[in-house]
Structure 1
Amino acid sequence: MKIKLYENNKHFTAGMTMKDESGLEKNNMALHVCKNPDHVVENRKMLAAFLNCRLDDFVCAHQTHSANFHRVTLEDKGRGAGQSETAIPDTDALYTFEPNLLLCTFTADCVPVIFSNKVNGLVGVIHSGWQGTVKEITLKLFKHLKQMEGCHPGDFHVQLGAALSQEKFEVDEDVYVKFKDLGYADDFIYYNSQTGKYHIDNQLTVKKQCELAGIPADQIKIDQTCTYLSPDGFSYRQNKKCGRHLTFVMRKR
């Protein structure tokens, strides 16, 4: 099983599963896009064993490219872990103060965001495809954490996982306008006059949103692996029937 560990210490575990040709369904982790749900559950159990936790420690959401987020409590433990019907509905970001819950998000080109706060122990994940980015899910969540949870932006560390590169994220004018209207994404867009397409760096746009929320730039890391170009990547743009990466974070007790 191919896994990228972005952080693994006495406080937090965070990482991202990758495509693996030798695994069941190439290490697909998503129940909503699979040939056999049992294969996905088996992959998740293997991940749980690697992380020294259990499948029912997982917490998953039904992602809808929204700007909705959910504070995870112990009552949410196991939701979406073994069957998609129990996942937290209509939600694209999860956060918690509780230890030993593995918060999960699923991507195939979209930007997965992992964040942790060593001062108060809060951890979370965000699914930010281009729709979530133009809805400013990341900026809205960090503003909420500041205003409603008493977090200080300077206490956060953020990791952006593997995603579609600017080279491969080419869009028409309708999507370009949505990024343009944000007012701060111009530096992350270029126009290809030969193809008539705009190319957008979704990762750098999300990074900018973190900075606008007050998170220091040097506390934001980016995995520059392109999910389209890398053999370890699931890419919806390349193959609409592909599997999904699982990006995770857990606060340790």
Structure 2
Amino acid sequence: MEPFVRNASEGAPELYGLKAWESQLPLVRVGFTGRGGGVSSAPYNSFNLALHVGDKPDDVLENRSRLTAALGFAQDAWTCGEQVHGIRVACVRAEDKGRGLRQRENAFQATDGLVTDVPGILLTSFYADCVPLYFMDPVKKVVGLAHAGWKGTVGLIAEEVVRVMEQEYGSLRSEIRAAIGPSIGGCCYEVDEAVMGRVREVMAQLDEQDGALEAVAAPSETEGRSMLNLKELNRIIMIKAGILPMNIECTSWCTSCHDDAFFSYRKHQGVTGRMASWIGLKER
């Protein structure tokens, strides 16, 4: 069953909520945005949530306000990083609330992962084919996000988030829940041999056998290229990091196949908006 459930009414933000987690921890709000229900003009139409793509800043801020309002958070709860396809994970403290809301310059710089245990903060990150990774410890009440393109994936950003949760918040790996959200699928993500070389290195580092490699990559119709399943690769990395397989949710949504519902960098040759992942703990 698809874990990310679409919920949209006419004129409202298009949201894909991870409802199973909200039942496990009632104060958590977690999910992913679609491209509908905002105010941005083409080619960012309509619910673009990123400031770095060339959209009008006022339209982006209005879209962010619509999302926080729909989730029951104050607008200044919005907190984000300046993503660079790296593996740095920042711990978000109470005084960090609102970083990156209005200006990119005060976001967490060179940061692709965020973790917090502070209620009232909404962690966010941005996507147009890359893989959104979600983390929750329902015991310690810690939540996290990571942005994983192929570079972040082979850099093991999923493992880094788990390490930070364990080291900084005392989370037990066996109690952490993880989820893999809407992103480009192995059906559409064609990569060259340079990328596949890094993937093979990671699979060897993880001590995975050839059968596992076949699960994350298939031959492309184009000679010398492969179809890469980043979702499955991240799932394997999560398991190797100590997350129990039964505690991992994985979407079936492909952002390239469903570019009517999602922005897709590859499908639109780089000129498009960005969805947002979000996770936060509501204040009582």
Identify the TM-score tier after normalising by the shorter chain.
over 0.9
Specify whether residues 21 and 72 from structure 1 end up closer, same or farther in structure 2 by C-alpha distance, changes over 3 A only: closer
- Mind listing any 5+ residue stretches in structure 1 that lack a counterpart? none
Alpha-carbon distance, 1:140 to partner:
2.1
SS of the residue aligned with 1:26?
A: coil
| Aligned counterparts, 1:183-194, within 5 A | 183=203, 184=208, 186=213, 187-194=215-222
Is 2:234 the counterpart of 1:218?
Answer: no
Distance 2:34 2:233 in 1: 23
Where does residue 17 of structure 1 map in the other structure?
33
SS of the residue aligned with 2:163?
A: helix
Where does residue 251 of structure 1 map in the other structure?
281
| AA partner of residue 16 (structure 2) | K
Alpha-carbon distance, 1:131 to partner:
0.6
Where does residue 144 of structure 2 map in the other structure?
124
- TM-score, with length taken from structure 1: 0.95
Q: For the Cα contact (< 8 Å) 1:109–1:228, is it kept in 2?
A: yes
Alpha-carbon distance, 1:27 to partner:
0.4
Q: For the Cα contact (< 8 Å) 1:59–1:87, is it kept in 2?
A: yes
Specify whether residues 214 and 46 from structure 1 end up closer, same or farther in structure 2 by C-alpha distance, changes over 3 A only: same
Where does residue 200 of structure 1 map in the other structure?
228
Where does residue 135 of structure 1 map in the other structure?
155
Query: Which of 71, 79, 88 in structure 1 is aligned with 2:91?
Result: 71
List, as ranges, runs of 4+ consecutive aligned residues in structure 1 with deviation greater than 6 Å. Answer: none
Distance 1:227 1:41 in 2: 23
Q: For the Cα contact (< 8 Å) 2:39–2:59, is it kept in 1?
A: no
Distance 1:182 1:26 in 2: 38
Distance 1:241 1:182 in 2: 31
CA RMSD of superposed structures (Å): 1.5
Is 2:72 the counterpart of 1:52?
Answer: yes
Alpha-carbon distance, 1:194 to partner:
4.6
SS of the residue aligned with 1:27?
A: coil
Report sequence identity in percent.
30
Q: More displaced, 193-202 or 54-63?
A: 193-202
Number of residue pairs aligned between Structure 1 and Structure 2: 253
Specify whether residues 51 and 193 from structure 1 end up closer, same or farther in structure 2 by C-alpha distance, changes over 3 A only: closer
Is 2:145 the counterpart of 1:145?
Answer: no
Where does residue 262 of structure 2 map in the other structure?
233
Q: More displaced, 121-130 or 214-223?
A: 214-223
Q: For the Cα contact (< 8 Å) 2:115–2:165, is it kept in 1?
A: no
| AA partner of residue 271 (structure 2) | K
Distance 1:21 1:81 in 2: 19
Q: For the Cα contact (< 8 Å) 2:16–2:32, is it kept in 1?
A: yes
Distance 2:38 2:76 in 1: 25
Query: Which of 9, 18, 24 in structure 2 is aligned with 1:6?
Result: 18
SS of the residue aligned with 2:101?
A: coil
| AA partner of residue 241 (structure 2) | A
Is 2:47 the counterpart of 1:27?
Answer: yes
Q: For the Cα contact (< 8 Å) 1:11–1:118, is it kept in 2?
A: no
Distance 1:48 1:14 in 2: 12
| AA partner of residue 6 (structure 1) | L
Distance 2:240 2:60 in 1: 37
SS of the residue aligned with 2:46?
A: helix
- TM-score, with length taken from structure 2: 0.85
Q: For the Cα contact (< 8 Å) 2:77–2:120, is it kept in 1?
A: yes
